[in-house]
Chains A and B, each alone.
Chain A
Amino acid sequence: GAGVSQSPSNKVTEKGKDVELRCDPISGHTALYWYRQRLGQGLEFLIYFQGNSAPDKSGLPSDRFSAERTGESVSTLTIQRTQQEDSAVYLCASSVHSGTYVQETQYFGPGTRLLVL
Chain B
Amino acid sequence: KQEVTQIPAALSVPEGENLVLNCSFTDSAIYNLQWFRQDPGKGLTSLLLIQSSQREQTSGRLNASLDKSSGRSTLYIAASQPGDSATYLCAVSTNAGKSTFGDGTTLTVKP
Q: B-contacting residues of A (Cβ < 8 Å)?
A: 4, 31, 33, 35, 41-45, 48, 50, 56, 58-59, 91, 93, 97, 101-111
* Known pairs A31-B97, A105-B49; A41 contacts B103 (CB<8 A): yes
Q: A-contacting residues of B (Cβ < 8 Å)?
A: 4, 31-32, 34, 36, 42-46, 49, 51, 89, 91, 93, 95-104
| Least CB separation from A31: chain B residue | B97
Cross-chain contact B97 with A91 (CB below 8 angstroms):
no
How close is B48's CB to chain A, nearest CB, in angstroms? 9
Cross-chain contact A33 with B97 (CB below 8 angstroms):
yes
Cross-chain contact A103 with B46 (CB below 8 angstroms):
no
| Least CB separation from A41: chain B residue | B103
Q: In the complex, what distance in Å separates the CA atom of A37 from the CA atom of B69?
A: 29
Q: In the complex, what distance in Å separates the CA atom of A63 from the CA atom of B101?
A: 23
Chain B residues, Cβ within 8 Å of A31? 97
